[in-house]
């Protein structure tokens, strides 16, 4: 099982930006957490972060026939990017969406996710644990698909 985790804009600023929402843990801490979740699930994985929509679209396209599953936190692009949605639909790779914060309890504009139209699972407001939940869900999803 080979998973791709994609993190969108400003996640590289974890520990600095809006600590009242995202806490003091850094992006490096998040990468370590995700790697531990890969190990727990017995998965290989790659972690990618970009502040640029086009780079995220290209990474999704490059995942075709390379990765078995995509876990994506599109961050601000959640609410604006039809291009990311279209890329996910084009590659047809099982996708889980993760948000560190509970976007439904924040500003009104954050309550709609284009990515959710392609994602089979959405995890909101569970912090780093949301990634672990998505990795373990993906393991179950892919294992059941092989049967």
- Residue 116 sits in a domain whose CATH number is 3.40.50.9100
CA distance 107 to 22: 15
Averaged confidence pLDDT in the chain: 93
Give 79's pLDDT tier (boundaries 50, 70, 90).
confident
The pLDDT of residue 122:
96
CA distance 51 to 47: 14
> Pick the catalytic residue: 52, 77, 99, 114?
99
> Pick the catalytic residue: 22, 77, 114, 131?
22
Is residue 22's pLDDT more than 90?
no
The better pLDDT of the pair 18, 118 is held by: 118
Please choose, from the candidates 114, 121, 65, the residue with its C-alpha nearest in 3D space to the C-alpha of residue 91.
Answer: 65
Please choose, from the candidates 110, 8, 130, the residue with its C-alpha nearest in 3D space to the C-alpha of residue 57.
Answer: 8
Give 105's pLDDT tier (boundaries 50, 70, 90).
low
Residue 79 among the catalytic residues: no
The pLDDT of residue 20:
74
Residue 52 among the catalytic residues: no
Is residue 107's pLDDT more than 70?
no
Query: Residue 117's domain spans which residues?
Result: 2-146
CA distance 85 to 76: 13
Is residue 34's pLDDT more than 70?
yes
Q: Report the number of distinct structural domains present in the chain.
A: 1
């Amino acid at each position: 099982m080979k998973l791709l985790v994609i993190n969108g804009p400003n996640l590289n600023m974890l520990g600095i930006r809006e600590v009242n929402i995202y806490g003091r843990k850094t992006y490096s801490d998040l990468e370590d957490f995700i790697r531990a979740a890969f190990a727990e699930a017995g998965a290989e994985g790659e972690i990618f972060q970009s502040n640029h929509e086009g780079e995220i679209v290209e990474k999704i396209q490059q995942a075709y026939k390379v990765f078995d599953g995509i876990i994506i936190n599109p961050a601000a692009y959640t609410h604006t990017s039809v291009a990311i949605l279209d890329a996910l639909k084009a590659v047809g790779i099982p996708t889980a969406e993760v948000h560190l914060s509970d976007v439904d309890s924040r500003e009104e504009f954050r309550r709609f996710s284009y990515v959710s139209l392609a994602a089979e699972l959405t995890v909101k407001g569970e912090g780093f644990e949301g990634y672990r939940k998505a990795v373990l869900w993906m393991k179950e999803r892919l294992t059941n698909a092989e049967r």
